[in-house]
Amino acid sequence: MDQFYRLRERGINVEVRQSVSSTNTLVKKELANHYLNQPLVMVANEQTAGHGKVDRPFYSAARSGAYFTLGLPNSYWSAENPPQDLTIRAVVAAYQTAVQLFDCQLSIKWVNDLYRDGKKVAGILAETAINDHNQFCGVVIGWGINLTMPTDWPADLQSNAGALTDQPFSSQLRNHLVDLVVDRFLELLETPWQKVLAVYRRRQYLTGKELVVDTGNEVTTGRFLRITDNGYLVIQTATETRSFFSGTVRLVQD
């Protein structure tokens, strides 16, 4: 039985590897060096150098998660599209698939994380692929989803990292999840933006909370107000209303 039948029906090639440095890194190289004309999905059992925003490590232990990347050549996506569009559609696709497949309660944390019981269970990273001539070759969207807790989970992650289930899972279930998430993401690319944003807002983990927003250039504290129509985060500080299109967010009590 083809475990990726939805993607195969779309004409998308799927590569499954045992161990890689990072699926995002490898698919970006494929796009930049080979000018792929069709989308590519790469799935790994383990990542040795998985990463999130600003190259923060993403622990990707063997047989504990779903680590996969979709590469979209530039014929499928324009460089002018805002990154929030891709990221928000990708996290909504993961949210909708996971709650259906695992029958669990999840929240979406701006801008690209899934949370269960106050702990992060998934992250999404969208990046551009640029060749040696500084030409845009496409985008990659990577999902890292903790399916179960590994026995060697690092001590510094145990307090804020979680998983979708406490039960063992098979590679068939992982591959089925990948097939569903990527297929749903491609459907959401054709879905009106406001419908996608409505799900994102409705399941927002930060609603009503005091936040610390770190953009890399400044750190700002304030209360969550809303997500704008273009996917920006708006908070109320002690003196003003601030809007952010990117950054790392944590709760004040964290």
pLDDT of residue 84: 77
- DSSP assignment string, the chain: --TTHHHHHTT-EEEEEEEES-HHHHHHHHHHHH--SS-EEEEEEEESS-B-GGG-B--B-TTTEEEEEEEEETTTS-TTS-HHHHHHHHHHHHHHHHHHHH----EEETTTEEEETTEEEEEEEEEEEE-TTS-EEEEEEEEEEE-S--TT--GGGTTTB--S-SS---HHHHHHHHHHHHHHHHHHHTS-HHHHHHHHHHTBTTTT-EEEEE-SS-EEEEEEEEE-TTS-EEEE-SS-EEEESS-EEEETT-
* 40-47/13-20 β-pairing: parallel
pLDDT of residue 37: 77
pLDDT of residue 146: 92
Provide the mean pLDDT of the chain.
88
Rounded mean pLDDT for each run of 10 residues along the chain, 254 residues in total: 85 93 91 81 84 56 85 75 83 97 95 94 92 88 90 66 86 95 96 96 96 94 97 96 94 79
Pair 71, 138: CB distance under 8 Å: yes
What's the pTM value of the predicted model, to 2 decimals? 0.91
Pair 23, 68: CB distance under 8 Å: yes
pLDDT of residue 3: 83
pLDDT of residue 253: 75
